[in-house]
Amino acid sequence: MEKIIQTIIAQAGSAQFASLTYRSKSRNELARFNVTIGANYHSLVERSKLALELLPISELVEKGVPAELVEKAKQNILASLTKTLEAHARGEQNSDYNKIGLYSPIGTNGLNLNLNDNSIQFFCLVNSKVVLEPATKFINSRPLTIAQNKIKKLLPIGKFREFALDLANVKSVRIDGQTLVID
């Protein structure tokens, strides 16, 4: 495990883009992602809050958010983003975040060690996704949660993604120019 972590740290330092094929644990979907690494989460939250404040309700309805849920969903997201920014100002994480203290950073490019199971968590911005095998499991969410998720996808924060790279599934790490490729 230590050898894999050291390899990723050494090679990820100069990479700005990554490509990975990933099987979702929750939905069992296999997809190839092209991502940007090293994004500043705080900046994403700030830009998302501003974008949401400026986003007209009519546009959200046009994007498929049910009219009766738009205002409540928008207010919930604004409250969460505001709480996150306030926590960051104190040097803390949002208390609603259910993974506080779970990760230890590895380098500066969005790689973290999960302190519970020693897996590597990879935080990045998704640029593109190609589904190779569709989902076989489906998540049953409340209508308000679905509405909030639709709105978040329209915001900069909607591209932020966490990938759990279980060490048993990491076959190799290699660099192709400035691109970190994880197979």
Which pLDDT score is estimated for 179?
A: 56
pLDDT confidence of residue 2: 55
Run means of pLDDT, 10 residues per run, the chain, 183 residues? 55 67 83 84 94 91 92 96 92 83 79 82 89 88 94 95 68 49 57
Q: Are 2 and 166 in contact (CB under 8 A)?
A: no
List the domain boundaries for the chain: 2-182
Contact call for residues 123 and 41 (beta carbons, < 8 A): yes
Q: What is the pLDDT of residue 37?
A: 80
Q: What's the pLDDT tens digit per position in 25-42?
A: 788 888 888 888 878 889
**Number of residues written out for the chain:** 183
One-letter amino acid for residue 130 of the chain: V
Give the pLDDT score at 71: 94
Q: Which of 163, 166, 162 is nearest to 1 (CA)?
A: 166
Q: What pLDDT does 117 receive?
A: 81
Pairing of strands 17-23, 179-182: parallel
